[in-house]
Structure 1
Amino acid sequence: MYIRLAKIEDAKRLAEIRLQIDGETENMDRERGEDFLDEVAFQEIIKIDTTSVNNLFLVAEITGELVGFSRCEGTNLNRSKHKVMLGVAVVKDHWGKGVGPELLRKSIHWADRNSIRKITLTVLETNRKAIEMYTKFGFEIEGRLKADKKLADGNYYDTYVMSRNKKQ
């Protein structure tokens, strides 16, 4: 497995795997095809992230194939530049192979080296494996958004807001 910065040339494949991942699980915010980002949209995100000191876009490769990505998005607002919002996504065929934890490890390492004090994320209450992984990396549940997502079974589920605060 190889974790690296996203490149403009990755944009087409990123559009494809984001669409694929959205259709493989209900753990994401979107259903397949919703809020679709095409190749050009990913090119723009990569350009922004490459030049922003508060953003990080990583991809995971296995034998030359992109199988997942993570993104930290920050802000330039003075009161909030100490924190980023994190998202991690991995193609279902590669779950359980350490891709998610490695993307998370690299993201945390980047944040710690770049004066990012707080990393936040949201995770569906039913996504126990992700919650367990985040907890192992020092994330804690800070809040709960009740009845936040309606899944295919017709029921509403809570979303946890989790964060990792860098020790001073």
Structure 2
Amino acid sequence: MVVNSKMFSINGLQYTVRSAIHDDAKNLSDVRVKIDGETENLDREKGEAYIDEAGFKRMIKEDTERSRNLFLVAVVNKRIVGFSRCEGSKLKRTSHKVEFGVCVLEEFWGYGIGKNLLLESIHWAEHNQVNKITLSVLETNENAIKLYKKYGFEVEGVLKKDKLLSDGNYYNTLLMARFNGVE
């Protein structure tokens, strides 16, 4: 699905959050690899599960056409600095929910980009009969957990010793969800 773009200005940085377009594919492929190498908060290490330009073009096309998918990018001076996706299911029994994921280049942390990608996704979900947004987050990512809780997400479960990080230790993954109009 495509949504209207929105401008933000935070701490002197101006950026736009908009739907991903076909021409973003190459930039998205490069940005994803870079982000994966900057933090252990994501599932992948740098270069793992690589998605090339053609793969992103397919993903953008599908996300644009499907009413239960949303692919957003954050753009600073024509450069993609972060992105998020909500991916819904084609199955009737799970069609009421989407899975959310977000990532932002480290040099752009602290400007509310992740927060605004999240809020735009929540807004989209609330206006498109998406009743549940799910996500997973590493237990050590305290800033993200605090942000998710602030905007109505709650912990639904814990995957124990789910991720093996570079320090040789295992860490838990929290499964979180936000419910829109469902009791």
| Coarse TM-score class (shorter-chain normalised) | over 0.9
Instruction: State TM-score, norm by structure 1.
Output: 0.99
Identify which of 32, 55, 60 aligns with 1:18. Answer: 32
Q: Is residue 2:49 matched to residue 1:35?
A: yes
Tell me the equivalent position of 2:160: 146
For structure 2, list consecutive stretches of 5 or more residues without a partner in the other structure.
1-14
1:75: Cα distance to partner? 1.1
1:65: Cα distance to partner? 1.3
The CA distance in 2 between the partners of 1:167 and 1:77, in whole Å, is 21
Instruction: State TM-score, norm by structure 2.
Output: 0.91
Identical residues among aligned pairs (%): 54
The CA distance in 2 between the partners of 1:107 and 1:92, in whole Å, is 21
Amino acid at match of 1:101: K
For structure 1, list consecutive stretches of 5 or more residues without a partner in the other structure.
none
Tell me the equivalent position of 1:65: 79
Q: Is residue 2:140 matched to residue 1:126?
A: yes
Q: Which runs of 4+ in 1 moved over 2 A?
A: none
Q: Is residue 2:62 matched to residue 1:44?
A: no
Amino acid at match of 2:160: K
Amino acid at match of 1:62: V
Tell me the equivalent position of 1:77: 91
Amino acid at match of 1:158: N
Deviations 1:128-160 (A, max 9, x none): 011011111110011000000000000000000
The CA distance in 2 between the partners of 1:39 and 1:137, in whole Å, is 33
The CA distance in 2 between the partners of 1:37 and 1:55, in whole Å, is 18
1:77: Cα distance to partner? 1.1
Quote the RMSD (CA, aligned, Å).
Answer: 0.6
